[in-house]
């Protein structure tokens, strides 16, 4: 019975401690950590998160307070200068991290829930349900999502919740299409049939059997979506369509856009904050993409 | 129409005149025509036939797993311990699946979920049908791995499918299928993807389980060798028809249908005398007909070397006594003499 003897059994026989087998997610994590760009992205992203969490406590200055003369160049008192009302840019950038990240993450979660639900149901059931849901998805796809989100915010008041919902309900379509494609592919696999032969019902097949197998590409898409959402939110803020009592990076750029040529620092620093955060997230997404790809995985 | 299968006290499962239709391009195509058989406690039924003859479809029909649409069971009954599964509620049939009837699939490499440990998958199968706690189910899962002869089950239970060999995975599939002590175990070409030594081990394991637990096994295969090793009774299928049924000895020694005879002739033999001139292997001319364009009458007629005028009409089951039947006009004479006697 040659198949029964493998190296681990042999090792056990000779009294060696068998090496614990590596779980798939451990292999993925190992792959991720060997990717320098991905680790750089992760560290940068964590710094942004920490800045959002603790920055306001440490720096303390309210971004809406007048901290000096208007449009002051970067100097000792205001390291990144002041805007047209004399508000400190540095405290704006620090305070902006929290609402920017919260909006980006909650809106992405919202888009993910809508997108995956619709894509999973369409892909799993197929036929008329699929047809209907995909036409529905296309309806959202043909509308320019920024214009659609602007309409939603304009119709309702521009509060935090409305902004999140506006971004979530207009950006879920790529996730729905991806989830549908994955479900279409995986539902034909034999282990789905085997699970059905064991008495599993549809909801169980969707959530416990197919979804875990569809996750790797979805996780990458979701990660990259966080970056896109930050830019999307910045665009809405730039147009003044977000909650005026919250200082986000996009809002800072929007408010200072008239002073761009006189005071470059008013838009450059919040712009760099957006650029780097989106870049960090893109690097993480790229790293995950490689880490989930078994072809690139080597022992 | 009278039921051609005799029933005895020990009958666990009986399939009566089962028909399955598929709607293809707006046309109703019958892919299983009038299939009947019965299965006794602790016995093995071999279903044999070429690819596309409806073997796997029969298995799926028993568990009501035919993809629908386009397929549906259009007639017949599947009676398990007195209950007609063809009419059972959706909820009841889900309890039957994995609980009363389990299935082992052809490809052990792909029939385990790659993202969960094998222990996880066995525990899930157990807890789907039995009301027991998690730790108890894990203990049972380890015991099951031991029953299917997986070494070091305590460690293996935490491994993922990709860490096991094909033979091991098929053992795990068997363990999952056994999790809820099913009455009927359907093995759909369980060894096709495995090499010959592992095949023999899997058959030994199935035989052992059958002896210990009295499980009925339906073995679906295209390999007469596998049938000869496992089956008590054999059912030969062709183009969705059951064309011959009998005990293993009856089929091997005195096959009546020209198709069965052809199948048996096309088995390679290992010659004892090495000086023998090599003969080319006998084959059945032609290919399996497209079910969309099935000929009128006997579906095997175009390939049959004994074809006659009568074959324009579909033969009915010729009862040869002792639960043995053939769907061929050639057997008509014998069947008539039987009736007179």
Structure confidence by residue, pLDDT tens digits, A205-226: 999 899 989 988 898 899 888 8
pLDDT digits (tens, 9 = 90+) for B43-93: 999 999 888 788 888 988 888 888 877 888 888 888 888 888 888 888 898
Q: A213 vs B115: CB contact, 8 Å cut-off?
A: yes
Q: Which chain A positions have a beta carbon within 8 Å of B197's beta carbon?
A: 2
Phi, psi of B36 (to 5 degrees): -135, 135
Q: Which residues pair with B32 in a beta bridge?
A: B20
Report the alpha-carbon distance of residue B292 to residue B186 in Å, rounded. Answer: 28
* Interface contact flag, A209 B113, Cβ < 8 Å: yes
3-state DSSP helix/strand/coil % of chain B, to nearest 5: 35, 25, 40
A144-175 pLDDT, tens digit each: 889 999 999 989 988 889 999 999 999 999 99
B201 in A contact zone (CB under 8 Å): yes
Of A2, A3, A199, the CB nearest to B128: A199
Compute the mean pLDDT over every residue in chain B, rounded to the nearest whole number.
83
Q: Do B112 and A209 touch (CB under 8 A)?
A: no
At B2 the pLDDT is: 42
**Section B265-270 average pLDDT:** 74
Mutate to test the interface with A, among B60, B105, B151, B196 (most CBs of A within 10 A): B151
Domains delineated in chain A: 45-57+86-296 (1.10.3720.10)
Question: Interface pTM (ipTM) of the complex?
Answer: 0.81
Residues in chain B within 8 Å Cβ distance of A8: 152, 155
* Beta strands B241-247; B233-238: pairing state: antiparallel
pLDDT over 70 (residue A296): no
Instruction: Label each residue of A66-116 as H, E or C.
Output: ECCCCCCCCCCCCCCCECCCCEEHHHHHHHHHHHHHHHHHHHHHHHHHHHH
Summarize pLDDT for A65-99 with one digit per residue, the tens. 887 888 888 888 888 888 888 888 888 888 888 88
pLDDT at site A81: 83
Task: State the average pLDDT over residues B231-236.
Answer: 90
- pLDDT above 70: residue B217: yes
Given a cut of 60, whether residue A299 has pLDDT beyond it is no
Q: Which two tokens stand for residue A269?
A: 């620093």
**Closest of B31, B82, B11, B7 to residue B242, by C-alpha:** B31
Nearest residue of chain A to residue B121 (CA atoms): A195
In chain B the first and final C-alpha atoms are separated, in Å, by: 22
- Which of A111, A103, A105, A69 minimizes the C-alpha distance to A88? A69
Segments in B63-195 forming alpha helices (H): 90-96, 118-129, 134-147, 153-156, 166-178
CA A23, CA B162: separation in Å to the nearest integer?
10
Q: Which residues of A touch B (CB under 8 A)?
A: 1-4, 6, 8-9, 12, 18, 21, 23-24, 127, 189-191, 193-201, 208-209, 212-213
Q: Phi and psi (nearest 5°) for B286?
A: 85, 180
B294 vs B94, residue with greater confidence: B94
Angle formed by the axes of helices A89-125 and A265-292, nearest 10° = 40
Question: What are the chain A neighbours of B163 within 8 Å (beta carbons)?
Answer: 21
Strand B184-188 versus strand B216-221 pairing type:
parallel
Contact B103 A195 (CB under 8 A): no
Residues of chain B numbered 98-127 and touching chain A (CB < 8 Å): 98-99, 102-103, 105-107, 110-116, 124-125
Mean pLDDT: which of A122-136, B93-107, B229-243, B270-284 is highest? A122-136
> Taking the model in full, what pTM does it have?
0.81
Q: By percentage, how much of chain A surpasses pLDDT 90? A: 37
Average pLDDT of the segment spanning B132-140:
91
Instruction: Tell me how close the Cα of B105 comes to any Cα of chain A, in angstroms.
Output: 7
Count of all residues that appear for chain B in the document: 341
Distance in angstroms (rounded) separating the CA atoms of residues A12 and A30: 26
Q: Closest chain B residue to A13 measured between Cα atoms?
A: B152
pLDDT greater at residue B141 or residue A2: B141
Task: Report the candidate in A26, A5, A8 with the shortest Cα–Cα distance to residue A18.
Answer: A8
């Amino acid at each position: 019975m040659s198949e029964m003897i493998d190296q681990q059994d042999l090792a056990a026989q000779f009294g060696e401690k068998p090496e614990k087998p590596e779980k798939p997610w451990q292999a993925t994590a190992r792959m991720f950590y060997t990717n320098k760009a991905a680790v750089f992205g992760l560290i940068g992203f964590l710094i942004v998160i920490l800045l959002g969490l603790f920055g306001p406590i440490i720096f303390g200055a309210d971004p809406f307070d007048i901290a000096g003369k208007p449009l002051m160049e970067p100097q000792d008192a205001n390291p990144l200068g002041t805007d047209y009302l004399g508000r400190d840019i540095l405290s704006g950038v620090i305070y902006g991290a929290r609402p920017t990240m919260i909006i980006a993450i909650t809106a992405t979660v919202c888009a993910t829930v809508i997108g995956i639900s619709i894509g999973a149901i369409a892909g799993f059931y197929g036929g008329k349900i699929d047809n209907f849901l995909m036409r529905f998805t296309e309806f959202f796809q043909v509308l320019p999502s920024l214009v659609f989100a602007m309409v939603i915010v304009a119709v309702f008041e521009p509060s935090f919740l409305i902004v999140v919902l506006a971004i979530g309900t207009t950006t879920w379509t790529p996730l729905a299409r991806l989830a549908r494609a994955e479900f279409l592919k995986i539902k034909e696999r034999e282990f789905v049939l085997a699970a059905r032969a064991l008495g599993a019902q549809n909801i169980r097949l969707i959530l416990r059997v197919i979804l875990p197998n569809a996750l790797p590409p979805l996780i990458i898409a979701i990660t990259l979506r966080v970056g896109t959402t930050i830019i999307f939110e910045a665009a809405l803020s730039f147009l003044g369509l977000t909650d005026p009592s919250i200082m986000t990076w996009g809002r800072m750029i929007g408010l200072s856009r008239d002073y761009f040529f006189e005071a470059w620092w008013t838009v450059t620093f919040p712009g760099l904050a957006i650029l780097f955060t989106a870049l960090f997230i893109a690097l993480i997404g790229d790293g995950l993409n490689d880490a989930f790809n078994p072809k690139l995985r080597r022992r | 129409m009278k039921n051609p299968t005799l029933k005895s006290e020990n009958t666990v499962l009986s399939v009566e005149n089962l028909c399955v239709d598929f709607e293809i391009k707006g046309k109703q195509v019958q892919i299983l025509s009038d299939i009947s058989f019965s299965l006794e406690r602790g016995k093995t039924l071999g279903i044999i036939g070429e690819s596309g003859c409806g073997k796997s479809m029969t298995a799926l029909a028993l568990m009501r797993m035919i993809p629908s649409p386009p397929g549906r069971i259009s007639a017949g009954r599947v009676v398990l311990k007195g209950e007609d599964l063809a009419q059972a509620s959706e909820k009841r049939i889900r309890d039957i699946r994995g609980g009363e009837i389990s299935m082992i699939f052809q490809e052990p490499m792909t029939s385990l979920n790659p993202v969960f440990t094998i222990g996880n998958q066995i525990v899930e199968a157990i807890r789907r049908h039995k009301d027991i706690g998690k730790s108890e189910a894990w203990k049972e899962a380890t015991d099951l791995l031991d029953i299917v002869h997986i070494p070091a089950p305590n460690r293996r239970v935490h491994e993922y499918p990709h860490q096991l060999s094909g033979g091991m995975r098929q053992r795990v599939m068997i363990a999952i299928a056994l999790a809820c002590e099913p009455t009927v175990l359907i093995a759909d070409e369980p060894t096709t993807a495995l090499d010959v030594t592992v095949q023999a081990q899997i058959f030994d394991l199935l035989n052992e389980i059958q002896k210990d637990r009295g499980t009925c096994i339906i073995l679906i295969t295209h390999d007469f060798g596998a049938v000869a090793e496992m089956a008590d009774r054999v059912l030969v299928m062709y183009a969705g028809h059951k064309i011959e049924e009998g005990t293993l000895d009856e089929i091997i020694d005195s096959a009546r249908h020209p198709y069965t005879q052809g199948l048996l002739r096309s088995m390679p033999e290992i010659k004892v005398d090495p000086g023998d001139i090599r003969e080319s292997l006998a084959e059945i001319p032609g290919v399996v007909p497209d079910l969309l364009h099935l000929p009128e009458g006997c579906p095997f007629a175009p390939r049959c070397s004994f074809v006659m005028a009568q074959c324009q009409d579909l033969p009915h089951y010729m009862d040869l006594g002792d639960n043995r039947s053939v769907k061929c006009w050639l057997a008509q004479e014998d069947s008539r003499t039987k009736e007179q006697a």
